[in-house]
Amino acid sequence: MTNKLLHPLKERLNRSLVLRTTLLIVATGVAVGLLAVWAVLTITGQRETERLYLRLDALVRTVERTASIAAYTHDARLAREVASGLLANRTIARISISDDERELVRLDQPGHRELMPAKALRHPLYSPFGDGEVIGQLELVPAVEIISATARESSWFVALVLIVVVSAITLVLIWAITRHVTQPIKALLDELQLIDVEFGDSLLSIDERRGDEISRLAWNVNNLIARMRGTLRAERDLRAQHQAAGQKWRLIFENAETGIFTLSREGVLHDWNPWLALTLGLPVNEAQARGKPPVNLARLLDDDRLPALVERVISDFQPAGAEFAIPGKRNRWLQIVLTPLEGDSNLVQGIANDISESKHALARAHRIAEQDALTGLLNRRGFERVGDDYLRACRPRQAIAVMLIDLDGFKQVNDTFGHDVGDQLLIAVARLLEDHVRQSDVVVRLGGDEFLVLLHDLASPEAAAKVAGKIVDAIARPFDLSGSMVARIGASVGVAYCDNALQDMDDLFRRADEAMYEAKNSGKSCFRVAGKNDPG
261-279 pLDDT tens trace: 888 888 888 888 888 888 8
408-432 pLDDT tens trace: 999 998 888 888 889 999 999 999 9
Alpha-carbon torsion 61, 66, 67, 68, what sign? positive
- What pLDDT shows up at residue 495? 95
Return the higher-pLDDT residue of 210 and 196. 196
- What pLDDT shows up at residue 15? 65
- What pLDDT shows up at residue 477? 92
Contact between 480 and 433 (Cβ < 8 Å): no
Q: Residue 33: phi, psi to the nearest 5?
A: -60, -45
Return the higher-pLDDT residue of 117 and 432. 432
Return the higher-pLDDT residue of 208 and 455. 455
- What pLDDT shows up at residue 535? 34
**How many residues in the chain?**
536
Mean pLDDT of 84-93: 81
> 113 falls in which pLDDT band (50, 70, 90)?
low
What type of residue sits at position 316?
D
474-531 pLDDT tens trace: 999 998 887 678 889 999 999 998 876 556 778 888 999 999 999 999 888 899 998 7
Mean pLDDT of 308-331: 83
Fold for the domain defined by 371-529:
Alpha-Beta Plaits (3.30.70)
- What pLDDT shows up at residue 289? 61
- What pLDDT shows up at residue 285? 64
- Give the DSSP letter of residue 181: I
User: Is pTM, for the whole model, over 0.85?
Assistant: no
Class of domain 14-151: alpha beta
- What pLDDT shows up at residue 504? 74
What type of residue sits at position 274?
P
Which range scores top for mean pLDDT: 75-84, 166-175, 515-524? 515-524
- What pLDDT shows up at residue 524? 86
Contact between 437 and 466 (Cβ < 8 Å): no
Q: Residue ranges of the alpha helices (H) in 335-443? A: 356-370, 380-393, 410-417, 419-435
Which range scores top for mean pLDDT: 108-112, 216-220, 368-372? 368-372
Fold for the domain defined by 259-356:
Beta-Lactamase (3.30.450)
Contact between 402 and 444 (Cβ < 8 Å): no
- What pLDDT shows up at residue 533? 42
- What pLDDT shows up at residue 468? 93
Percent of the chain at pLDDT above 90? 13
- What pLDDT shows up at residue 353? 86
Which residue, 149, 151, 160, 164, is CA-closest to 43? 151
- What pLDDT shows up at residue 534? 37
Contact between 314 and 340 (Cβ < 8 Å): yes
Percent of the chain at pLDDT above 70? 82
Return the higher-pLDDT residue of 252 and 467. 467
Contact between 454 and 387 (Cβ < 8 Å): yes
Contact between 489 and 407 (Cβ < 8 Å): yes
Q: Can you tell me whether residue 69 is helix, strand or coil?
A: helix
Contact between 79 and 105 (Cβ < 8 Å): yes
Q: Residue 341: phi, psi to the nearest 5?
A: -100, 125
Q: How far apart, in whole angstroms, are the C-alpha atoms of residue 382 and residue 370?
A: 4
- What pLDDT shows up at residue 394? 64
Above 70 in pLDDT, residue 144? yes
Contact between 308 and 299 (Cβ < 8 Å): no
- What pLDDT shows up at residue 529? 92
